[in-house]
Protein backbone atom coordinates (compact mmCIF):
# COMPACT_ATOMS: atom_id res chain seq x y z
CA UNK A 1 0.00 0.00 0.00
CA UNK A 2 1.31 3.46 -0.76
CA UNK A 3 0.31 6.33 1.46
CA UNK A 4 0.54 9.96 0.55
CA UNK A 5 0.25 11.47 4.03
CA UNK A 6 1.84 14.89 4.33
CA UNK A 7 3.23 15.93 7.69
CA UNK A 8 4.64 18.86 9.62
CA UNK A 9 7.37 19.06 12.27
CA UNK A 10 6.16 20.59 15.56
CA UNK A 11 7.67 21.12 18.99
CA UNK A 12 6.00 19.12 21.76
CA UNK A 13 4.51 21.45 24.40
CA UNK A 14 5.08 20.55 28.07
CA UNK A 15 1.59 19.53 29.19
CA UNK A 16 0.53 20.23 32.77
CA UNK A 17 -0.61 16.60 33.12
CA UNK A 18 -0.94 13.59 30.81
CA UNK A 19 -4.72 14.32 30.63
CA UNK A 20 -4.30 17.91 29.45
CA UNK A 21 -5.74 18.68 25.99
CA UNK A 22 -2.27 19.21 24.47
CA UNK A 23 -0.75 16.03 25.99
CA UNK A 24 -1.49 14.03 22.80
CA UNK A 25 1.74 15.29 21.23
CA UNK A 26 3.83 13.86 24.06
CA UNK A 27 1.75 10.66 24.09
CA UNK A 28 2.30 10.35 20.33
CA UNK A 29 6.04 10.88 20.75
CA UNK A 30 6.09 8.22 23.48
CA UNK A 31 4.21 5.82 21.20
CA UNK A 32 6.74 6.32 18.39
CA UNK A 33 9.76 5.99 20.68
CA UNK A 34 8.32 2.80 22.19
CA UNK A 35 7.65 1.36 18.71
CA UNK A 36 11.27 2.14 17.77
CA UNK A 37 12.54 0.43 20.92
CA UNK A 38 10.45 -2.67 20.30
CA UNK A 39 11.51 -2.70 16.64
CA UNK A 40 15.22 -2.74 17.59
CA UNK A 41 15.22 -4.86 20.75
CA UNK A 42 12.14 -7.06 20.37
CA UNK A 43 10.90 -5.96 23.79
CA UNK A 44 9.72 -2.82 25.58
CA UNK A 45 12.20 -3.22 28.46
CA UNK A 46 14.15 -0.15 27.32
CA UNK A 47 11.07 1.96 26.65
CA UNK A 48 9.86 4.62 29.06
CA UNK A 49 6.38 5.43 30.34
CA UNK A 50 4.63 8.66 29.29
CA UNK A 51 5.00 9.68 32.94
CA UNK A 52 8.79 9.31 32.76
CA UNK A 53 8.95 11.23 29.46
CA UNK A 54 6.86 14.05 30.96
CA UNK A 55 9.25 14.22 33.93
CA UNK A 56 12.21 14.34 31.50
CA UNK A 57 10.58 17.23 29.64
CA UNK A 58 9.81 19.14 32.86
CA UNK A 59 13.23 18.75 34.44
CA UNK A 60 15.86 21.24 33.32
CA UNK A 61 18.35 21.03 36.18
CA UNK A 62 21.18 19.13 34.52
CA UNK A 63 19.76 18.76 31.03
CA UNK A 64 17.11 20.64 29.12
CA UNK A 65 15.08 18.47 26.76
CA UNK A 66 13.32 19.60 23.60
CA UNK A 67 10.97 17.15 21.94
CA UNK A 68 9.94 17.40 18.29
CA UNK A 69 7.33 15.42 16.39
CA UNK A 70 6.32 14.91 12.78
CA UNK A 71 2.51 15.03 12.75
CA UNK A 72 0.32 13.93 9.85
CA UNK A 73 -1.48 16.98 8.45
CA UNK A 74 -4.86 15.28 8.75
CA UNK A 75 -4.44 15.01 12.55
CA UNK A 76 -7.70 15.43 14.45
CA UNK A 77 -6.94 16.68 17.93
CA UNK A 78 -10.63 16.39 18.87
CA UNK A 79 -10.20 12.60 18.85
CA UNK A 80 -7.37 11.77 21.24
CA UNK A 81 -6.75 8.22 19.93
CA UNK A 82 -6.49 9.43 16.34
CA UNK A 83 -4.41 12.44 17.35
CA UNK A 84 -1.88 10.25 19.17
CA UNK A 85 -1.72 7.92 16.15
CA UNK A 86 -1.08 10.86 13.80
CA UNK A 87 2.42 11.32 15.27
CA UNK A 88 4.65 9.54 12.71
CA UNK A 89 8.12 10.39 14.00
CA UNK A 90 9.80 12.00 16.96
CA UNK A 91 13.13 13.53 17.94
CA UNK A 92 14.58 14.19 21.37
CA UNK A 93 17.22 16.86 21.85
CA UNK A 94 19.13 16.76 25.16
CA UNK A 95 21.01 19.95 26.04
CA UNK A 96 23.35 19.56 29.04
CA UNK A 97 23.16 22.57 31.33
CA UNK A 98 25.84 22.20 34.01
CA UNK A 99 28.67 20.83 31.84
CA UNK A 100 29.23 19.60 28.29
CA UNK A 101 27.57 22.73 26.98
CA UNK A 102 29.40 22.21 23.68
CA UNK A 103 27.23 19.19 22.92
CA UNK A 104 23.67 18.15 22.21
CA UNK A 105 22.40 14.59 22.18
CA UNK A 106 19.75 13.80 19.59
CA UNK A 107 17.70 10.71 18.97
CA UNK A 108 15.30 10.28 16.07
CA UNK A 109 12.65 7.59 15.64
CA UNK A 110 10.25 7.11 12.75
CA UNK A 111 7.42 4.57 12.82
CA UNK A 112 8.67 1.60 10.75
CA UNK A 113 5.79 1.88 8.26
CA UNK A 114 6.56 5.57 7.59
CA UNK A 115 10.30 5.33 6.93
CA UNK A 116 12.15 6.32 3.73
CA UNK A 117 9.91 9.34 3.16
CA UNK A 118 12.19 12.02 4.51
CA UNK A 119 10.62 12.25 7.99
CA UNK A 120 13.82 11.23 9.79
CA UNK A 121 15.90 13.76 7.88
CA UNK A 122 13.41 16.57 8.55
CA UNK A 123 13.40 15.76 12.27
CA UNK A 124 17.18 15.54 12.44
CA UNK A 125 17.52 18.89 10.66
CA UNK A 126 15.04 20.48 13.07
CA UNK A 127 16.88 18.94 16.05
CA UNK A 128 20.21 20.28 14.75
CA UNK A 129 18.64 23.74 14.41
CA UNK A 130 17.54 23.62 18.07
CA UNK A 131 21.08 22.66 19.12
CA UNK A 132 22.69 25.32 16.93
CA UNK A 133 20.36 28.02 18.26
CA UNK A 134 21.49 27.03 21.76
CA UNK A 135 25.16 27.50 20.81
CA UNK A 136 26.07 23.80 20.65
CA UNK A 137 28.93 22.80 18.36
CA UNK A 138 28.73 19.00 18.50
CA UNK A 139 25.85 16.59 17.87
CA UNK A 140 25.86 13.09 19.33
CA UNK A 141 23.53 10.16 18.76
CA UNK A 142 23.25 6.38 19.16
CA UNK A 143 22.47 3.49 16.85
CA UNK A 144 21.49 0.04 18.10
CA UNK A 145 21.89 -3.51 16.79
CA UNK A 146 20.29 -6.51 18.51
CA UNK A 147 23.25 -8.64 17.42
CA UNK A 148 26.86 -7.51 17.02
CA UNK A 149 27.83 -8.30 13.39
CA UNK A 150 30.86 -10.52 12.72
CA UNK A 151 34.01 -8.78 11.50
CA UNK A 152 33.99 -8.39 7.71
CA UNK A 153 32.45 -6.32 4.95
CA UNK A 154 29.03 -6.05 6.68
CA UNK A 155 30.49 -4.43 9.79
CA UNK A 156 31.95 -1.07 10.77
CA UNK A 157 34.59 -1.28 13.50
CA UNK A 158 34.82 1.25 16.34
CA UNK A 159 37.87 3.56 16.20
CA UNK A 160 38.93 1.94 19.52
CA UNK A 161 39.23 -1.39 17.65
CA UNK A 162 36.71 -2.90 20.11
CA UNK A 163 33.19 -3.51 18.86
CA UNK A 164 31.34 -3.33 15.58
CA UNK A 165 28.02 -2.01 14.29
CA UNK A 166 26.09 -3.36 11.32
CA UNK A 167 26.42 -1.61 7.97
CA UNK A 168 22.95 -3.03 7.20
CA UNK A 169 21.37 -0.96 9.98
CA UNK A 170 19.33 1.77 8.21
CA UNK A 171 20.32 4.32 10.84
CA UNK A 172 24.01 3.58 10.18
CA UNK A 173 23.52 4.08 6.43
CA UNK A 174 21.58 7.26 7.11
CA UNK A 175 24.11 8.79 9.53
CA UNK A 176 27.15 7.97 7.40
CA UNK A 177 25.54 9.62 4.37
CA UNK A 178 24.98 12.73 6.50
CA UNK A 179 28.66 12.89 7.52
CA UNK A 180 28.48 11.41 11.03
CA UNK A 181 31.43 9.45 12.49
CA UNK A 182 31.38 6.41 14.76
CA UNK A 183 33.17 7.30 18.04
CA UNK A 184 32.70 4.21 20.24
CA UNK A 185 30.79 0.93 20.53
CA UNK A 186 29.10 -0.30 23.71
CA UNK A 187 28.12 -3.87 24.38
CA UNK A 188 24.62 -4.49 25.68
CA UNK A 189 24.52 -7.30 28.20
CA UNK A 190 21.62 -9.07 29.87
CA UNK A 191 21.52 -11.12 33.05
CA UNK A 192 18.60 -13.45 33.65
CA UNK A 193 17.49 -13.64 37.29
CA UNK A 194 17.63 -15.30 39.68
CA UNK A 195 21.39 -15.79 39.63
CA UNK A 196 22.36 -19.22 40.94
CA UNK A 197 22.60 -18.53 44.72
CA UNK A 198 25.76 -20.66 45.05
CA UNK A 199 27.50 -18.66 42.29
CA UNK A 200 26.43 -15.34 43.83
CA UNK A 201 27.65 -16.45 47.27
CA UNK A 202 30.96 -17.69 45.88
CA UNK A 203 31.65 -14.32 44.17
CA UNK A 204 30.43 -12.32 47.18
CA UNK A 205 32.58 -14.32 49.60
CA UNK A 206 35.63 -14.17 47.33
CA UNK A 207 35.29 -10.39 46.95
CA UNK A 208 34.74 -9.87 50.70
CA UNK A 209 37.86 -11.92 51.47
CA UNK A 210 39.94 -9.93 48.95
CA UNK A 211 38.62 -6.57 50.23
CA UNK A 212 39.37 -7.39 53.88
CA UNK A 213 38.03 -5.63 56.96
CA UNK A 214 38.60 -2.03 55.82
CA UNK A 215 35.38 -1.78 53.78
CA UNK A 216 31.77 -1.63 54.96
CA UNK A 217 28.72 -1.81 52.66
CA UNK A 218 25.74 0.57 52.71
CA UNK A 219 22.59 0.10 50.63
CA UNK A 220 19.94 2.78 50.02
CA UNK A 221 17.06 3.64 47.69
CA UNK A 222 16.43 6.70 45.52
CA UNK A 223 17.32 9.26 48.20
CA UNK A 224 20.95 9.30 49.27
CA UNK A 225 21.36 9.50 53.06
CA UNK A 226 22.48 13.05 53.91
CA UNK A 227 25.73 11.66 55.35
CA UNK A 228 26.82 10.41 51.90
CA UNK A 229 25.38 13.15 49.71
CA UNK A 230 28.53 15.06 48.78
CA UNK A 231 30.65 11.87 48.61
CA UNK A 232 28.13 10.29 46.25
CA UNK A 233 28.14 13.43 44.07
CA UNK A 234 31.92 13.10 43.87
CA UNK A 235 31.63 9.50 42.69
CA UNK A 236 29.11 10.47 40.00
CA UNK A 237 31.55 13.13 38.75
CA UNK A 238 34.34 10.55 38.58
CA UNK A 239 32.07 8.24 36.62
CA UNK A 240 32.09 10.77 33.78
CA UNK A 241 35.89 10.77 33.52
CA UNK A 242 36.85 7.20 34.49
CA UNK A 243 34.68 5.10 32.17
CA UNK A 244 36.40 4.67 28.76
CA UNK A 245 35.13 7.19 26.23
CA UNK A 246 36.73 6.08 22.96
CA UNK A 247 36.59 9.10 20.64
CA UNK A 248 33.47 10.49 22.32
CA UNK A 249 34.02 14.16 23.19
CA UNK A 250 32.34 13.96 26.61
CA UNK A 251 33.89 16.33 29.16
CA UNK A 252 33.98 16.08 32.98
CA UNK A 253 30.53 16.35 34.54
CA UNK A 254 30.02 18.81 37.39
CA UNK A 255 28.18 17.22 40.34
CA UNK A 256 27.34 18.47 43.81
CA UNK A 257 24.77 17.51 46.44
CA UNK A 258 22.24 19.91 44.98
CA UNK A 259 22.42 18.21 41.56
CA UNK A 260 21.98 14.80 43.19
CA UNK A 261 18.87 16.02 45.05
CA UNK A 262 17.45 17.54 41.84
CA UNK A 263 17.94 14.21 40.07
CA UNK A 264 16.15 12.44 42.91
CA UNK A 265 13.16 14.79 42.55
CA UNK A 266 13.07 14.05 38.81
CA UNK A 267 13.22 10.29 39.46
CA UNK A 268 10.28 10.50 41.91
CA UNK A 269 8.34 12.51 39.32
CA UNK A 270 9.22 9.95 36.61
CA UNK A 271 8.29 6.90 38.69
CA UNK A 272 11.84 5.55 38.73
CA UNK A 273 13.45 4.09 41.84
CA UNK A 274 17.14 3.60 42.48
CA UNK A 275 18.82 0.85 44.45
CA UNK A 276 22.37 1.81 45.40
CA UNK A 277 25.10 -0.12 47.21
CA UNK A 278 28.30 1.71 48.16
CA UNK A 279 31.46 0.60 49.95
CA UNK A 280 32.79 2.86 52.72
CA UNK A 281 36.53 2.81 53.37
CA UNK A 282 36.23 2.63 57.16
CA UNK A 283 39.66 4.07 58.11
CA UNK A 284 38.94 7.30 56.17
CA UNK A 285 35.13 7.33 56.36
CA UNK A 286 34.97 7.96 52.61
CA UNK A 287 33.13 6.10 49.85
CA UNK A 288 35.43 3.92 47.75
CA UNK A 289 32.96 2.28 45.35
CA UNK A 290 29.30 2.18 44.33
CA UNK A 291 26.86 0.57 41.93
CA UNK A 292 23.21 1.34 41.18
CA UNK A 293 20.08 -0.17 39.62
CA UNK A 294 17.48 2.01 37.90
CA UNK A 295 14.05 0.49 38.40
CA UNK A 296 11.38 1.85 35.99
CA UNK A 297 7.65 1.89 36.77
CA UNK A 298 6.50 0.54 33.38
CA UNK A 299 7.57 -3.01 34.24
CA UNK A 300 8.25 -5.00 37.39
CA UNK A 301 10.28 -7.61 35.46
CA UNK A 302 13.23 -5.55 34.21
CA UNK A 303 15.79 -3.20 35.78
CA UNK A 304 18.71 -1.31 34.33
CA UNK A 305 22.17 -1.78 35.80
CA UNK A 306 23.48 1.79 35.91
CA UNK A 307 26.87 3.09 36.96
CA UNK A 308 29.52 1.07 38.79
CA UNK A 309 32.74 2.76 39.93
CA UNK A 310 35.69 1.99 42.15
CA UNK A 311 37.75 5.06 43.12
CA UNK A 312 41.20 4.75 41.50
CA UNK A 313 43.11 4.50 44.82
CA UNK A 314 40.93 1.54 45.87
CA UNK A 315 41.11 -0.55 42.70
CA UNK A 316 42.48 -4.10 42.84
CA UNK A 317 40.53 -5.13 45.98
CA UNK A 318 37.55 -6.68 44.12
CA UNK A 319 35.30 -3.86 45.31
CA UNK A 320 33.47 -3.84 41.97
CA UNK A 321 32.40 -7.46 42.52
CA UNK A 322 31.69 -6.74 46.21
CA UNK A 323 29.18 -3.93 45.56
CA UNK A 324 27.62 -5.68 42.57
CA UNK A 325 26.93 -8.96 44.38
CA UNK A 326 25.50 -7.06 47.37
CA UNK A 327 23.24 -4.96 45.16
CA UNK A 328 22.00 -8.09 43.30
CA UNK A 329 21.19 -9.71 46.66
CA UNK A 330 19.32 -6.54 47.74
CA UNK A 331 17.41 -6.54 44.44
CA UNK A 332 16.35 -10.18 44.93
CA UNK A 333 15.01 -9.29 48.42
CA UNK A 334 13.27 -6.07 47.39
CA UNK A 335 11.98 -6.93 43.92
CA UNK A 336 11.72 -10.71 43.50
CA UNK A 337 9.56 -10.12 40.38
CA UNK A 338 12.61 -8.86 38.42
CA UNK A 339 13.79 -11.45 35.88
CA UNK A 340 16.10 -9.41 33.67
CA UNK A 341 18.91 -6.91 34.23
CA UNK A 342 20.26 -5.00 31.23
CA UNK A 343 23.37 -2.85 30.99
CA UNK A 344 25.81 -1.09 28.67
CA UNK A 345 29.59 -1.13 28.82
CA UNK A 346 32.22 0.20 26.45
CA UNK A 347 33.33 -2.80 24.41
CA UNK A 348 36.95 -1.99 25.40
CA UNK A 349 36.12 -1.90 29.16
CA UNK A 350 37.44 -5.39 29.83
CA UNK A 351 37.61 -4.97 33.64
CA UNK A 352 33.92 -4.15 33.98
CA UNK A 353 32.94 -6.71 31.36
CA UNK A 354 34.93 -9.42 33.17
CA UNK A 355 32.89 -8.85 36.37
CA UNK A 356 29.62 -8.89 34.44
CA UNK A 357 30.53 -12.04 32.50
CA UNK A 358 31.51 -13.80 35.75
CA UNK A 359 28.07 -12.95 37.17
CA UNK A 360 26.34 -14.45 34.11
CA UNK A 361 25.66 -11.40 31.91
CA UNK A 362 25.60 -12.43 28.23
CA UNK A 363 26.04 -10.23 25.14
CA UNK A 364 22.68 -8.93 23.88
CA UNK A 365 23.59 -6.45 21.15
CA UNK A 366 25.62 -3.30 20.61
CA UNK A 367 25.12 0.43 20.53
CA UNK A 368 27.26 2.85 18.54
CA UNK A 369 27.90 6.41 19.69
CA UNK A 370 28.14 8.81 16.74
CA UNK A 371 29.25 12.44 16.49
CA UNK A 372 29.03 15.24 14.00
CA UNK A 373 30.37 18.79 14.38
CA UNK A 374 27.74 21.48 13.99
C1 LIG B 1 17.14 6.13 11.14
C2 LIG B 1 15.69 6.58 10.90
C3 LIG B 1 15.36 7.67 11.92
C4 LIG B 1 15.59 7.16 9.47
O5 LIG B 1 14.28 7.70 9.29
P6 LIG B 1 13.64 7.85 7.83
O7 LIG B 1 12.44 8.72 7.98
O8 LIG B 1 13.46 6.51 7.22
O9 LIG B 1 14.82 8.62 7.08
P10 LIG B 1 14.74 9.37 5.67
O11 LIG B 1 13.52 8.98 4.93
O12 LIG B 1 14.92 10.82 5.94
O13 LIG B 1 16.05 8.73 4.96
C14 LIG B 1 17.07 9.55 4.45
C15 LIG B 1 18.13 8.73 3.73
O16 LIG B 1 18.77 7.82 4.64
C17 LIG B 1 19.14 6.62 3.93
N18 LIG B 1 18.38 5.46 4.45
C19 LIG B 1 17.42 5.50 5.41
N20 LIG B 1 16.97 4.25 5.63
C21 LIG B 1 17.65 3.42 4.82
C22 LIG B 1 17.59 2.02 4.56
N23 LIG B 1 16.74 1.21 5.24
N24 LIG B 1 18.42 1.50 3.63
C25 LIG B 1 19.26 2.30 2.94
N26 LIG B 1 19.32 3.65 3.11
C27 LIG B 1 18.53 4.19 4.04
C28 LIG B 1 18.78 6.88 2.50
O29 LIG B 1 19.86 7.54 1.89
C30 LIG B 1 17.61 7.82 2.65
O31 LIG B 1 17.35 8.58 1.50
P32 LIG B 1 16.49 7.91 0.30
O33 LIG B 1 15.28 7.28 0.92
O34 LIG B 1 16.18 9.10 -0.56
O35 LIG B 1 17.39 6.91 -0.33
C36 LIG B 1 14.73 5.39 11.00
O37 LIG B 1 15.22 4.30 10.25
C38 LIG B 1 14.50 4.94 12.42
O39 LIG B 1 13.59 5.43 13.10
N40 LIG B 1 15.35 3.98 12.92
C41 LIG B 1 15.27 3.55 14.31
C42 LIG B 1 15.74 4.67 15.25
C43 LIG B 1 17.23 4.90 15.17
O44 LIG B 1 18.03 4.00 14.95
N45 LIG B 1 17.66 6.14 15.43
C46 LIG B 1 19.08 6.38 15.63
C47 LIG B 1 19.62 7.51 14.86
S48 LIG B 1 19.13 9.07 15.57
In a domain, residue 65? The reply is yes
Q: Please indicate, yes or no, whether residues 199 and 156 belong to a single structural domain of this protein.
A: no
Average pLDDT, whole number, for the chain?
96
Write down the pLDDT at residue 4. 63
Q: Please indicate, yes or no, whether residues 162 and 206 belong to a single structural domain of this protein.
A: no
In a domain, residue 353? The reply is no
In a domain, residue 355? The reply is no
Among residues 261, 258, 253, the alpha carbon closest in space to that of 235 is found at: 253
Q: Please indicate, yes or no, whether residues 223 and 199 belong to a single structural domain of this protein.
A: yes
Q: pLDDT tens for residues 45-59? A: 999 999 999 999 999
> In the chain, how many domains are there?
2
Atom of ligand 1 nearest to the CA of 109: 39
Last-in-domain residue among 137, 166, 189 = 189
Q: pLDDT tens for residues 347-360? A: 999 999 999 999 99
Q: What value does the mean pLDDT take over residues 251-264?
A: 98
In a domain, residue 121? The reply is yes
Q: Please indicate, yes or no, whether residues 172 and 205 belong to a single structural domain of this protein.
A: no
Q: Please indicate, yes or no, whether residues 198 and 164 belong to a single structural domain of this protein.
A: no
Q: What value does the mean pLDDT take over residues 24-31?
A: 98
In a domain, residue 357? The reply is no
Question: With 70 as the cut, is the pLDDT of residue 44 above it?
Answer: yes
Last-in-domain residue among 139, 158, 189 = 189
Separation of CA 40 and ligand 1 centre (Å)? 14
Atom of ligand 1 nearest to the CA of 124: 48
In a domain, residue 155? The reply is yes
Q: Please indicate, yes or no, whether residues 278 and 185 belong to a single structural domain of this protein.
A: no
218 lines ligand 1 (CB under 6 A): no
Q: Please indicate, yes or no, whether residues 179 and 52 belong to a single structural domain of this protein.
A: yes
In a domain, residue 52? The reply is yes
Atom of ligand 1 nearest to the CA of 171: 1
141 lines ligand 1 (CB under 6 A): yes
Window from 8-17, 76-85, 188-197 with minimum mean pLDDT: 76-85
Atom of ligand 1 nearest to the CA of 39: 41
Among residues 362, 304, 290, the alpha carbon closest in space to that of 338 is found at: 304
Q: Please indicate, yes or no, whether residues 59 and 177 belong to a single structural domain of this protein.
A: yes
Q: Which residues pair with 110 in a beta bridge?
A: 89
Separation of CA 228 and ligand 1 centre (Å)? 46
Write down the pLDDT at residue 78. 79
pLDDT tier at 86, thresholds 50, 70, 90: very high
In a domain, residue 87? The reply is yes
Separation of CA 120 and ligand 1 centre (Å)? 6
Atom of ligand 1 nearest to the CA of 106: 48
Distance (Å, whole) CA 156 – CA 32: 27
171 lines ligand 1 (CB under 6 A): yes
Separation of CA 91 and ligand 1 centre (Å)? 13
* Cα of 130 vs its chain's centroid, Å: 22
109 lines ligand 1 (CB under 6 A): yes
Among residues 239, 263, 285, 241, the alpha carbon closest in space to that of 97 is found at: 263
Q: Please indicate, yes or no, whether residues 254 and 330 belong to a single structural domain of this protein.
A: yes
Burial class of residue 328 in the structure, from the number of CB atoms within 10 Å of its CB (0-12 exposed, 13-18 middle, 19+ buried): buried
pLDDT tier at 1, thresholds 50, 70, 90: very low
Q: pLDDT tens for residues 278-307? A: 999 999 999 999 999 999 999 999 999 999
CATH number at residue 72: 3.40.630.30
Its domain, for residue 110, covers 7-189
- Looking at the chain, the whole-number percentage of residues with pLDDT higher than 90 is 97
Last-in-domain residue among 161, 189, 217 = 189
Write down the pLDDT at residue 287. 98
333 lines ligand 1 (CB under 6 A): no
Ligand 1 atom 34: the closest Cα is on which residue? 116
Separation of CA 108 and ligand 1 centre (Å)? 10
Q: What value does the mean pLDDT take over residues 238-255?
A: 96
Q: What value does the mean pLDDT take over residues 362-374?
A: 97
Q: Please indicate, yes or no, whether residues 154 and 279 belong to a single structural domain of this protein.
A: no
Instruction: Confirm if 148 and 162 have CB atoms less than 8 A apart.
Output: no
Q: Please indicate, yes or no, whether residues 332 and 240 belong to a single structural domain of this protein.
A: yes
Question: With 70 as the cut, is the pLDDT of residue 2 above it?
Answer: no
Q: Please indicate, yes or no, whether residues 182 and 37 belong to a single structural domain of this protein.
A: yes
Query: Which of 33, 120, 179 is the pocket-test mutation for ligand 1 (most atoms within 8 Å of CB)?
Result: 120
Write down the pLDDT at residue 3. 54
Amino acid sequence: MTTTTTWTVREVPVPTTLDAPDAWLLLGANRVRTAGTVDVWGSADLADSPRAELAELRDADAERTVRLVAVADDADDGDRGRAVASVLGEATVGLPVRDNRHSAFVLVNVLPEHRRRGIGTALLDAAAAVARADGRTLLMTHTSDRVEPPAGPGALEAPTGAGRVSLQNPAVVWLRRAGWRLAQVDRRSQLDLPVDPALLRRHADGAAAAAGADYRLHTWGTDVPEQWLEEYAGLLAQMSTDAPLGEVDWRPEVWDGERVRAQERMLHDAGYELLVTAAEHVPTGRLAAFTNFWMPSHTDEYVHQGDTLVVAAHRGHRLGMLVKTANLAALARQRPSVHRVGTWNAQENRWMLAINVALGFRPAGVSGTWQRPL
